[in-house]
Every structure is written in C-alpha cells, then in structure tokens.
Amino acid sequence: MKPVQRLLIAGIVACAAAVPTLAHIEKTEPLQSLRQSYFALIGMSFGPMADMVKGKIEWDQAQFERWSSDLAAVASYSVERGFAPGSEEGRTRAKPDIWLNLDDFNERLAGLRAETAKLAEAAKTGDRAAIQAQLGATGKACKGCHDEYKAKDYLY
Ligand code: HEC
C-alpha cells in the first residue's frame, strides 16, 4: 500500500471513530438532549452580551445587535416538545416540579421570548441605558425560571 493510501484509510477510520462523539444527541434521551441544546445555545448567546454590558469585552454595537437578534430567534424555537411526558427521567437538571406546573413553566418560556424580543428591539436603538435595563430584565426571566425549575446539578 502506498503511503498516501495508508493516510487516506487512517483518515477515514479517524472520522468514523469521531462520529459518535460529534453527536450531542443522546439516542436514549433525545428530548433531554433537545432541551439542553436549546438552553446551551441560549446561554452561549446571552453570556457575551452580558460581558459587553459589564464592560468585560469592548462594546460593539453591530455585534450586540446580531447577538440579540440571534438570542430572540433561538428563544422562539418551540422547545416545549423537549418537555413531553416521560422526559423528566434521565440525565437532566430539569426539576420534576416542571411537569406538575406546566402552565406556569410555559408562561415563563413565553416571558423569555417576550424579553429577548424586547432586547433585540432595544439593541437596534443603540441606547445603552435602555439596552442595559432590558438585558437585566432578560436575566431576571432566566433566574426566575432557574430558581423554580432548574437544579444546580444533575438530578440522576
Ligand atoms: C422557562 C424556564 C427557563 C428559562 C426562562 C430559562 N431557562 Fe435555562 N434552563 C431551564 C431548565 C429546566 C434547564 C435544565 C434542562 C435540563 O437539564 O434538562 C435549563 C438549563 C440551562 C443551561 C444549561 C444547558 C445545558 O448545557 O444543559 C443554561 C446555560 C441555561 N439554562 C441558561 C439560561 C439563560 C441564559 C436564560 C435566559 C436568557 C435561561 N436559561 C432561561 C429553564 C429555563
């Protein structure tokens, strides 16, 4: 076998081996994976904006507008199906209380969508005080729901 062929085969084998680790979705817990992916994206979109408002990274108006519209778009995704009956089991930080208070939980999701939409609107104005206030209101929606319904550690 030529060295090039050997390299090619090694490459294919390496790719095949990498596939399961690339997949973030747990086959036995797809709904838990779905909602965790949603919140991971929410967190990673919100975090840099908070850093910008706090001055940890330099203010960049265009970047903030993009991030805030991304956050609103991500928040609008119908994550409700990730909380279908039975998905309270498994590797999750979602407290069982969610399934006893689904109306309240869903209202909080609606609140998250409303606050992130307002943040994207505020961002467009470029008014730093308004942006900061609305970032705070959005953060309150996160914290309010986490205090009630998200455990700090995995439950199982
Ligand atoms: C309606 C309730 C609710 C709101 C609002 C909410 N979260 Fe969460 N969040 C949860 C729940 C429940 C989990 C745990 C999901 C699980 O482990 O199955 C979670 C998990 C997370 C995680 C961990 C994701 C992972 O990798 O497993 C992050 C990060 C996060 N939320 C950030 C945020 C931020 C930032 C906001 C606000 C912009 C927010 N959340 C708003 C309920 C909420």
Q: Which two tokens stand for residue 85?
A: 């009956």
* Residue 50 burial (CB count, 10 A): 14
CB 20 within 8 A of CB 27: no
The residue type at 135 = L
Cβ of 149 closer than 6 Å to ligand 1, yes or no, is yes
d(CA 81, CA 57): 36
Phi, psi dihedrals of residue 122, rounded to the nearest 5°: -60, -40
Ligand 1 center–CA 120 separation, angstroms: 19
pLDDT of residue 155: 76
State pLDDT tens for residues 98-132: 999 999 999 999 999 999 999 999 999 999 999 99
Is residue 20 exposed (0-12), middle (13-18) or buried (19+ Cβ within 10 Å)?
Answer: exposed
Nearest atom, ligand 1, residue 47 CA: 35
pLDDT at 68: 98
- Indicate whether 13 pLDDT > 70: no
| Cβ-contact 41, 74 below 8 angstroms | yes
Q: Is the CB of residue 119 below 6 angstroms from any atom belonging to ligand 1?
A: no
Average pLDDT value for residue range 69-76:
98
Return the pLDDT at 5: 72
- Return the best residue to mutate from 146, 148, 153 for the ligand 1 pocket (most ligand atoms within 8 A of CB): 146
Give yes or no for residue 75 CB within 6 A of ligand 1. no
> What pLDDT digit, counting tens, does each position of 24-47 carry?
889 999 999 999 999 999 999 999
What is residue 82's predicted lDDT score, i.e. its pLDDT?
A: 97
pLDDT, position 42:
98
CA of 48 to the centre of ligand 1 (A): 16
Amino acid identity, residue 128? R
Structure-token pair, residue 104:
């309240």
Nearest to 126 by CA among 68, 65, 72: 65
Q: How far is CA 105 from CA 22, 53, 72, 100, 146, in A?
A: 31, 28, 18, 9, 10
